Every structure is written in structure tokens, then in C-alpha cells.
């Protein structure tokens, strides 16, 4: 598959993910939307704020790299960051989390559209990616990461992301 096809497929995958997320969120019960999570069990809202945080992190990294500015790194503090995101938003409403997630994902898609197919596939394009392509990083952040977490909160076997999780069997 050439670079132009890969960019086209990335945009298609992101559209499918966006649509599946919308359908998934629309089908959550009121109880799931109002649940307050904990360190041991995140709620749907907690998961959305978490995904929005990491989507925004992706956006900041790629935007700063393009400008030639310092790129923030997650480093070894992911548990502290994740717990901090949980506690910061513990008593926020589900719709706030959904809006944050949707804003972050749409911003990511717009950022990625501005890169050429060759740029998305260049292994040495940005130093902070350590030899990975932007396309690879985007699929990890917006494909695997979203599917993994949403499958955690999926209680319905027919939910759009259930196919990514063996716990749905």
C-alpha cells in the first residue's frame, strides 16, 4: 500500500472510530453516564476524560514538533497523570467528558489532515517519535488506546468496541 493509500485509510479508520464512539456514547445507560468512578474502577466519564487528555497530549506533541518547539514527553509518570486526570474530573458531568473527548479527537483529525502522505509515513520525521511514523503513533493513540479503554466499559456484547476485548466473549 502506498503512502497516499495509507493516509486515506488512516482518515477512514479515524472516521469509523469517531462514528463508533458516538454510537457507543449514545447507547450508554443513564446509570453508566452518572456513575462516579474510583482508582479501582473508572466510570465511562473517567475514561473519556482520560482519552481526551491523551488525545490532547498527542496534539500538543505534534503541534510543538511542527513549530520546532519543545515537545512534552509522558515519561514514566503515566500513573500519576492518569490518577490526576481522574481526580480532577471526578465530579464533572458525563457530557463535559464527551465534549472534551470529541473536541480532542476532531482536533487530532484536523492536525493529521494537514500532513502529507509522505510525512505521515516518514520514520525520521520527528525526533520525539523515536523512529516511529506519525501514522503509527496516530493508530496507537486513536485506534488501539480508544478501543482498549472503551471495551473496558462496554457491558453490552453488541457494543461497537466489544470486538476488541476478549472480556466480551
Q: What is the pLDDT of residue 64?
A: 93
Mean per-residue pLDDT of the chain? 84
How large is the average pLDDT for residues 93-122? 94
Q: What is the pLDDT of residue 165?
A: 39
Confidence bin at 80 (pLDDT 50/70/90)? low
Q: How far apart are CA 96 and CA 13, in angstroms?
A: 25
Model confidence, pTM: 0.80
> Which of 79, 65, 42 minimizes the C-alpha distance to 130?
65
Report percent pLDDT > 70 for the chain: 86
Q: How far apart are CA 58 and CA 95, in angstroms?
A: 22
Q: How many structural domains are present in the chain? A: 1
Q: What is the pLDDT of residue 164?
A: 40
Q: What is the pLDDT of residue 137?
A: 93
- In angstroms, how far is the first alpha carbon of the chain from the final one? 33
In the predicted structure, residue 42 carries a pLDDT above the cut 50: yes
Domain range spanning residue 71?
3-168
Confidence bin at 76 (pLDDT 50/70/90)? very low
- CATH number for the domain including 134? 1.20.120.450
Task: Provide CB contacts within 8 A for 41, sequence distance 6+.
Answer: none
In the predicted structure, residue 152 carries a pLDDT above the cut 80: no
Amino acid at each position: 500500500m502506498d503512502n497516499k493509500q495509507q493516509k486515506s485509510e488512516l482518515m477512514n479508520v479515524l472516521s469509523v472510530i469517531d462514528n463508533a464512539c458516538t454510537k457507543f456514547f449514545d447507547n450508554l445507560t443513564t446509570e453508566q453516564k452518572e456513575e462516579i468512578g474510583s482508582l479501582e474502577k473508572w466510570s465511562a466519564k473517567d475514561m473519556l476524560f482520560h482519552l481526551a487528555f491523551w488525545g490532547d497530549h498527542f496534539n500538543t506533541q505534534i503541534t510543538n514538533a511542527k513549530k520546532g518547539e519543545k515537545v512534552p514527553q509522558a515519561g514514566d509518570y503515566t500513573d500519576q497523570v492518569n490518577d490526576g486526570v481522574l481526580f480532577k474530573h471526578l465530579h464533572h458531568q458525563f457530557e463535559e467528558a464527551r465534549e472534551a473527548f470529541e473536541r480532542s479527537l476532531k482536533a487530532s483529525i484536523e492536525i493529521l489532515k494537514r500532513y502529507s502522505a509522505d510525512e505521515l509515513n516518514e520514520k525520521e520525521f520527528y525526533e520525539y517519535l523515536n523512529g516511529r511514523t506519525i501514522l503509527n503513533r496516530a493508530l496507537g493513540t486513536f485506534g488501539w488506546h480508544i478501543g482498549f479503554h472503551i471495551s473496558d466499559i462496554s457491558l453490552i456484547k453488541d457494543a461497537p468496541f466489544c470486538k476488541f476485548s476478549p472480556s466480551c466473549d
